[in-house]
Amino acid sequence: MNNKIIITLSGGLDSSTVLAKVFEEKKDIYALTVNYGQKNWNKEIENVQKLCEIYNVKELKIIDCTWLGKMGGSAVTDSSINLEVKNDDKIYVPFRNTIILSACIAWAEILNCDLIYTGSINGDAEDICYDNTKKYYQILNMLVKEATRKNIKIEAPLINFDKKEVLELAISLNVPLEYTWSCVINNDYPCGKCFSCLDRKMAFNMLNQTDPNYTKVKEKKYGK
Ligand SMILES: [Zn+2]
């Protein structure tokens, strides 16, 4: 096994924490991010690029899967669907995680890399997102073993962490939280209402922390 690792990076709290963790472990980091037509893509890529600079990522691969967003059906991509908490089954993007991980697996074969990390966490809407469970990863690993020339392993190192525990780890690893972005609706400021904003807000509140993304908004708004 060599020192290379591929991580899926969205610029959210979870994948940014995984990035910081593998940086501490002194891995040779290759990051993959996917434009699947998500509403917050501009903000995601802005943060992903910044994080890659900070964490000395060897290569950032940006994959175009905008065809997925064009199919619609998810509030994360489809502008005709509003995302409200009571409407949260619409947060699922059909087969997205397998599509993203397929790109990672192909890249791992080419890079001669044995290990792929994702940012999936415990209870990450498991009842809605079937592609985000321990069972899913077990089965995917079986497929990868059967279908590739290499012995590639996909792991979700935060799969037993809830959002509060992820934030605790992020703080202990000095993750630059101002360069992480969770809101799935807006590009300019967090909406504070989508499932992702609420989840993040709850974690910050539980740890009595201030989310720098809201501070940035305030600074922008009042010109401070
Ligand atoms: Zn939001």
Averaged over successive runs of 10 residues, the pLDDT of the chain (224 residues) comes to: 93 97 97 95 95 98 96 86 67 90 97 96 69 92 94 95 96 97 83 88 96 76 46
CATH number of the CATH domain containing 206? 3.40.50.620
Q: Work out the number of other CB atoms within 10 angstroms of the CB of residue 24.
A: 11
Show the domain range for 112. Answer: 4-222
Helical H segments across 55-188, by residue range: 66-70, 96-111, 134-147, 163-172
Q: Work out the number of other CB atoms within 10 angstroms of the CB of residue 17.
A: 26
Expressed in angstroms and rounded, the spacing between residue 148 Cα and the centre of ligand 1 is 38
Provide the number of structural domains found in the chain: 1
Which residues place a Cβ less than 5 A from the ion ligand 1? Answer: 183, 185, 191, 194, 197
pLDDT attached to residue 218 = 56
3-state secondary structure (DSSP) of residue 139:
helix
pLDDT attached to residue 224 = 40
Expressed in angstroms and rounded, the spacing between residue 96 Cα and the centre of ligand 1 is 20
138 vs 154: CA distance, rounded Å: 9
pLDDT attached to residue 81 = 81
pLDDT attached to residue 92 = 84
Expressed in angstroms and rounded, the spacing between residue 77 Cα and the centre of ligand 1 is 13
CA 64 to chain centroid, in Å, comes to 16
pLDDT attached to residue 223 = 44
pLDDT attached to residue 35 = 97
Mean pLDDT taken over the chain: 90
Expressed in angstroms and rounded, the spacing between residue 139 Cα and the centre of ligand 1 is 32
Can you spell out the DSSP letters for 165-216?
HHHHHHHHTT--GGG----SS-SSS--S-SHHHHHHHHHHHHTT---HHHHH
pLDDT attached to residue 195 = 83
The angle, 0 to 180 degrees and rounded to 10, between the axes of the packed helices 13-24 and 41-54 is 10
Expressed in angstroms and rounded, the spacing between residue 197 Cα and the centre of ligand 1 is 4
